[in-house]
């Protein structure tokens, strides 16, 4: 029997994502000047106020207020009428030094023997239903909001958009888990005030359906374009008005969009957030590593859909274990346990090995903090960072290394594919 599955996304201007982006901007600045920095930074944003809290061990000094303000302005909160803007908001820092009790479990005489920064389990997932091996409903939800952000920044075809927005896509699947059609699309976007609410709602609906969606569809592969039809149910700003938004409309906190950040409800999640954590925290690094494993396994043909779990104990070097679930889609005679055993031989899952393999001790995290940490484009970019002393550093860094298909040949050889 056919079934429906839904995933959502939120924009860079959503209050929780504002908090994530500030936390990850701090991570990037610490790592740019001191690669060995240990950071766990949480951010709270509300009407006219930013609160920074967390633990840091680093040899560098940063102007955290300026970093927060620059991040907010780059998102688009630059007007006083938003009741939250980078130039006038208050920024309070309660960041202090990392606990020695935590640090002693991580730092070792040999970097290779670095222990896990915390206990917990992390999951990676991949499916071959999209070109980037991501669940389709989430991929479309992200694409809708990224395109909406482009329209806002262009300020040409649609001129009333504000930074806060959300999307949701519902897809009908067949019995054999193949996407058949898009059943419903939800878009809620913050906007400037209109003189007439009915005129406002009609215009926003028309612009979303006639301008935004065609731009999204035009960038999709043909097989995904075919899922769009005239029968899609659109729910555009269902409450009727969305002028008050962002941190003024809803307090934002780091780490509250962990499903948006990962797989949209597909696969599984271990519960740990990513943003604001340096790579010694396996909540982040091991989640990236398991995505890397899952994606390469699916690309190599081990299965059509794969979930990978790894777990750790704080201060312990080796993981507690690796679990694989192929959902019965493995095309050859091998159990999930046997696949997990081979995966353990191919991928070194010690924390330091993950950091080295995926180049995680680099300032690569600001780009992850909106529109998902997974399914993104692997590329090299040039970034410049500055300190209050006037010192600056320019670095070429590789983004989204966990999205590389660099282990496909090794996997094929190991599995005789």
* Whether residue 114 has pLDDT greater than 60: yes
CATH number of the domain located at residue range(s) 3-10+135-245 in this protein: 3.30.300.10
199: tokens are: 């005129």
Sign of CA dihedral 295, 297, 301, 306: negative
180: tokens are: 């058949």
163-211 pLDDT, tens per residue?
Answer: 999 999 999 999 999 999 999 999 999 999 988 888 899 999 999 999 9
User: Mean per-residue pLDDT for 142-158?
Assistant: 97
Judge if 3-10+135-245 and 120-127+259-272+279-415 fold alike in CATH terms: yes
Domain 16-110 top-level CATH class: alpha beta
Which residues fall in the annotated binding site for ATP? 14, 164-166, 241-242, 250, 256-257, 273, 277
Bridge partners (DSSP) listed for residue 40:
55, 277
pLDDT at 104: 53
Sign of CA dihedral 265, 268, 358, 410: negative
DSSP-derived secondary structure letter, 367? G
Which residues fall in the annotated binding site for Mg(2+)? 16
CATH number of the domain located at residue range(s) 120-127+259-272+279-415 in this protein: 3.30.300.10
60-85 pLDDT, tens per residue?
Answer: 999 999 999 999 999 999 999 999 99
Bridge partners (DSSP) listed for residue 179:
173
* Whether residue 102 has pLDDT greater than 60: no
User: Mean per-residue pLDDT for 231-254?
Assistant: 95
User: Mean per-residue pLDDT for 355-370?
Assistant: 98
User: Mean per-residue pLDDT for 119-141?
Assistant: 97
pLDDT at 108: 53
pLDDT band at 100 (very low <50, low <70, confident <90, very high): low
3-state secondary structure of 350: coil
Which residues fall in the annotated binding site for L-methionine? 55, 98, 250, 281
Which phi and psi angles does 398 have, rounded to 5°? Answer: -100, 120
User: In this structure, are residues 275 and 262 in contact, taking their beta carbons and an 8 Å threshold?
Assistant: no
Cα dist from 334 to 125, 302, 325, 339, whole Å: 19, 10, 12, 7
User: Mean per-residue pLDDT for 250-262?
Assistant: 98
pLDDT band at 255 (very low <50, low <70, confident <90, very high): very high
Report the alpha-carbon distance of residue 123 to residue 132 in Å, rounded. Answer: 17
User: Mean per-residue pLDDT for 350-372?
Assistant: 97
Q: What is the pLDDT of the chain when averaged over all its residues?
A: 95
Which residues fall in the annotated binding site? 14, 16, 42, 55, 98, 164-166, 241-242, 250, 256-257, 273, 277, 281
- DSSP, residue by residue, 370-406: SS-SSS---EEEEEEEE-TTS-EEEEEEEE-GGG---
Report the alpha-carbon distance of residue 15 to residue 142 in Å, rounded. Answer: 16
Token pair 């740990």 is found at 272
Higher pLDDT among residues 116 and 276, named by residue: 276
* Whether residue 131 has pLDDT greater than 60: yes
The whole-model pTM stands at 0.96
pLDDT band at 1 (very low <50, low <70, confident <90, very high): confident
Residue 366 CB burial class (10 angstroms; 0-12, 13-18, ≥19) = buried
Report the alpha-carbon distance of residue 288 to residue 315 in Å, rounded. Answer: 19
pLDDT at 86: 96
* Whether residue 371 has pLDDT greater than 80: yes
Report the alpha-carbon distance of residue 92 to residue 49 in Å, rounded. Answer: 8
30-48 pLDDT, tens per residue?
Answer: 999 999 999 999 999 999 9
Bridge partners (DSSP) listed for residue 232:
none
User: Mean per-residue pLDDT for 265-270?
Assistant: 96
Higher pLDDT among residues 113 and 406, named by residue: 406
- Percent of all residues in the chain with a pLDDT value above 90, rounded to a whole number: 90
Residue 363 contacts by C-beta under 8 Å, 6 or more apart in sequence? 27, 28, 29, 31, 32, 383, 385, 395, 397
* Domain ranges within the chain, ordered by starting residue: 3-10+135-245, 16-110, 120-127+259-272+279-415
Which residues fall in the annotated binding site for K(+)? 42
User: Mean per-residue pLDDT for 7-11?
Assistant: 98
pLDDT at 107: 59
């Amino acid at each position: 029997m056919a079934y429906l599955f839904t995933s959502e996304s939120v924009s860079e201007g959503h209050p929780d994502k504002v908090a994530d982006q500030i936390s990850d901007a701090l991570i990037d600045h610490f790592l740019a000047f001191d690669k060995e920095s240990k950071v766990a930074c949480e951010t709270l944003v509300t009407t006219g106020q930013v609160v920074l809290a967390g633990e840091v061990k680093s040899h560098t000094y940063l102007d955290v207020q300026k970093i927060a303000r620059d991040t907010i302005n780059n998102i688009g909160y630059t007007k006083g009428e938003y009741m939250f803007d980078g130039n006038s908001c208050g920024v309070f820092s309660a960041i202090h030094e990392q606990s020695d009790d935590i640090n002693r479990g991580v730092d070792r005489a040999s970097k290779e023997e670095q222990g896990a920064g915390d206990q917990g389990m992390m999951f990676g997932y991949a499916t071959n239903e999209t070109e980037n091996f991501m669940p389709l409903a989430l991929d479309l939800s992200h694409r809708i909001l990224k395109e909406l952000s482009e329209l806002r920044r262009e300020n040409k075809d649609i001129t009333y958009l504000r930074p806060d927005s959300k999307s949701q896509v519902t897809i009908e699947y067949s019995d054999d888990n193949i996407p058949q059609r898009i059943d419903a699309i939800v878009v809620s976007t913050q906007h400037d005030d209109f003189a007439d609410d009915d005129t406002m709602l009609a215009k926003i609906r028309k612009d979303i359906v006639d301008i935004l969606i065609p731009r999204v569809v035009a960038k999709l592969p043909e097989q995904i374009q075919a899922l769009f039809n005239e029968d899609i149910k659109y729910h555009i700003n269902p409450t009727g008005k969305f002028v008050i938004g962002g941190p003024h409309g809803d307090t934002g906190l780091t780490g509250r969009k962990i499903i948006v950040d990962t797989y949209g409800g597909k696969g599984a999640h271990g519960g740990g957030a990513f943003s604001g954590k340096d790579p010694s925290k396996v909540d982040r690094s091991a989640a990236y590593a398991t995505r890397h494993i899952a994606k390469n396994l699916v690309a190599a043909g081990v299965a059509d859909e794969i979930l990978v779990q790894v777990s750790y104990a704080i201060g312990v070097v080796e993981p507690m274990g690796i679990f694989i679930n192929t959902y019965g889609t493995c095309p050859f005679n091998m159990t999930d346990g046997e696949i997990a055993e081979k995966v353990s031989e191919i991928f070194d899952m010690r924390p330091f090995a993950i950091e080295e393999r995926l180049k995680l001790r680099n300032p690569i995290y600001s780009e992850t903090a909106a529109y998902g940490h997974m399914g993104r484009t692997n590329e090299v970019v040039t970034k410049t960072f500055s300190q209050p002393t006037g010192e600056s550093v320019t670095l070429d860094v590789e983004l989204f290394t966990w999205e590389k298909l660099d282990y496909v040949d090794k996997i094929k050889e190991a599995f005789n594919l």
